[in-house]
Amino acid sequence: MRHNRMTVADLRTMKGKRQMTMLYVETLDEARAAAVAGIDILSIIDPLWTPEMREAAGDCFVQVGLLYGELVTAEDYLRAAHRAMRIGGDAVYCAAGLGTIQALAEEGIPVISHVGLIPSKATWTGGFKAVGKTADSALSVWRHVKALEAAGAIGAELEVVPDRVAAEISRRTPLIMLSMGAGAGGDAQYLFAEDVLGCTRGHRPRHAKVYRNFRVEYERLQRERIAAFREFAADVASGAYPAPEHVVGIDDREFEAFLNGLDAPA
């Protein structure tokens, strides 16, 4: 099936014209729901990226996350990126060094990187907290953005940076800035589907907004799942399962012939 999904050129054209929407999704159902809901951009990590996921994502622009730490060399990233694009990725997410980003860009692969709070490198900025709250820190984020421009990236996730800083940076760079907890000044608003659906695992970040409470529903379903399994076990123990409607019958004469055959000499 052919889709009319956005291209890199489309994203660049939309920069500064309207806020785009972006979700991190992990399941086919989440991808399908995002596509039907008209979400612009999806982030899907490489191990979950399959042809089935591409189909589920419909017209959404998909950045495929290349896992920092599992991929090491530029060649590792290049192989993974080409595989992701072959499946139908529209861009790759890469938090590796500038040399790796440049190598990907030189191959014509659209690369989205990360500035501000970068979870895989948070130790350098003091852990999981806001970045850019001082002039020096904010200028460091800006210099990182300029370095990504020079390396050939098309965009960057801008995470947990003061909104006024984020707005100025986004206004001054051609990169597509994906705001995660960085206010409305970016080019897209980025949340995790699990936060939107109220089923966050672990700490819920300040910028997350819950739109539905799936956790309660999942807990209810788990209770029902346990109850169903217990009822099944009880039915087996009592002989209630299997019942006649669950088995295959055989004509009496055919069964008798089968028994005679068992007793016949070999």
Any catalytic annotation for residue 159? yes
| 141-145 own/partner pairs: CB under 8 Å, 24+ apart | 141/115, 141/116, 141/165, 141/169, 142/169, 142/172, 144/115, 145/115, 145/169, 145/173, 145/175
- For residue 144 the two structure tokens come to 């990182």
Gyration radius (Cα) of the chain, Å: 26
Active-site annotation holder among 30, 157, 159, 194: 159
Residue numbers annotated as active site: 159
